[in-house]
């Protein structure tokens, strides 16, 4: 007999979780998250999860409190005798700290993987990790969904001619190439030099963009500094238009102003992270159906491979 699926949401992802639950065809589970006056978090399930497959939906942005909340939710589910616990992190925080790129620094994404293992999580579902190899930090299954499943149909709907895709930095070449391969078109790379974190000193475009409609592809948009400078550099080289698709709208610092004042025609993002205020140039595409379908297939022990848009 198949176990019952129950879907719960943390504080940060309630809107997305509600949509995922609706697409799945059942209401969100009852969960109360209490906060003490000093900020201490105390989650409590208001319904039985004994013997159930529990899916806990929580993006970790901002990372600290939301990650701690997820860990406590998982611990509570385990202590309430859930059969399986799957952590659904539409946005996986700390993914940028995935290696020791300078002396005496932490590898935060590995630490997060250890913490998720320590609380007894059986499976991770996430979308567009900053670096795909982070999956190797986990000793349990990872379902790494691809945001292109929602962005590629959107780009197709625009009907752009002379289409070229761009990587905003060298690290994003793989993503841009996947889109370019799917659309059978060219790609360019923006080479950036940083003075310090979140501050781009210079940018140059490698490749030809004259007369093209350019779409910049990235996994996340933080302050928007890199994206906006890349757009300026591309337009300066003769492009007809520049827009962007970015899975995770982190939008910290002056991101909203940077985007509003940029030469970008539009920035398409997903709802893995909720926007904190309206943004005229930002279009939000939902990943709710993608996650709901993946949850159903995992529960029914079916493959999720055809959820990915093949680029070859």
DSSP 133-175: GGGGG-SS-EEEE-THHHHHHHHHHHT-SSEEEEESSGGGHHH
Catalytic residue among 192, 195, 240, 277: 192
8 A C-beta contact, residue 228 and residue 240? no
109-117 contacts at long range (C-beta below 8 A, 24 or more positions apart): 109/134, 109/137, 110/137, 112/60, 112/67, 113/137, 113/138, 115/67, 115/71, 116/71, 116/74, 116/87
b/e map 297-312, b = 16+ CB within 10 Å: bbbeeeebeebeeeee
Question: Around Cβ 163, how many Cβ atoms within 10 Å?
Answer: 19
The reply to whether 83 belongs to the active site is no
Residues tagged active-site: 192
């Amino acid at each position: 007999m198949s176990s019952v699926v129950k879907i719960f949401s943390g504080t940060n992802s309630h809107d997305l979780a509600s949509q995922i639950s609706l697409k799945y065809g059942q209401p969100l589970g009852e969960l109360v998250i209490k906060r003490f006056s000093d900020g201490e978090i105390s989650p409590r399930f208001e319904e039985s999860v004994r013997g159930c497959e529990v899916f806990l939906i929580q993006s970790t942005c901002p990372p600290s409190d939301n990650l701690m909340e997820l860990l406590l939710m998982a611990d509570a589910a385990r202590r309430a005798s859930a059969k399986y616990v799957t952590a659904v992190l539409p946005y996986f925080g700390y993914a940028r700290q995935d290696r020791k790129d300078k002396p005496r620094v932490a590898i935060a994404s590995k630490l997060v993987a250890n913490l998720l293992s320590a609380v007894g999580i059986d499976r991770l579902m996430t979308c567009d990790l900053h670096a795909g190899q982070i999956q190797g930090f986990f000793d349990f299954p990872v379902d790494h969904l691809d945001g292109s499943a929602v962005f590629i149909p959107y780009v197709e709907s625009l009907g752009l001619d002379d289409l070229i895709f761009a990587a905003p930095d060298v690290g994003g070449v793989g993503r841009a190439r996947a889109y370019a391969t799917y659309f059978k078109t060219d790609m360019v790379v923006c080479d950036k030099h940083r003075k310090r974190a979140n501050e781009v000193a210079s940018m140059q475009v490698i490749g030809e963009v004259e007369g093209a409609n350019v779409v910049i592809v990235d996994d996340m948009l933080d302050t928007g500094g890199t994206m906006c400078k890349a757009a300026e550099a591309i337009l300066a080289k003769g492009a007809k238009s520049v827009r962007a698709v970015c899975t995770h709208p982190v939008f910290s610092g002056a991101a909203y102003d940077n985007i509003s004042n940029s030469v970008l025609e539009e920035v398409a993002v997903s709802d893995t992270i909720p926007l904190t205020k309206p943004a005229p140039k930002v279009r939000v595409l939902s990943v709710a159906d993608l996650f709901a379908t993946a949850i159903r297939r995992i529960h029914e022990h079916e493959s999720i491979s055809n959820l990915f848009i093949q680029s070859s």
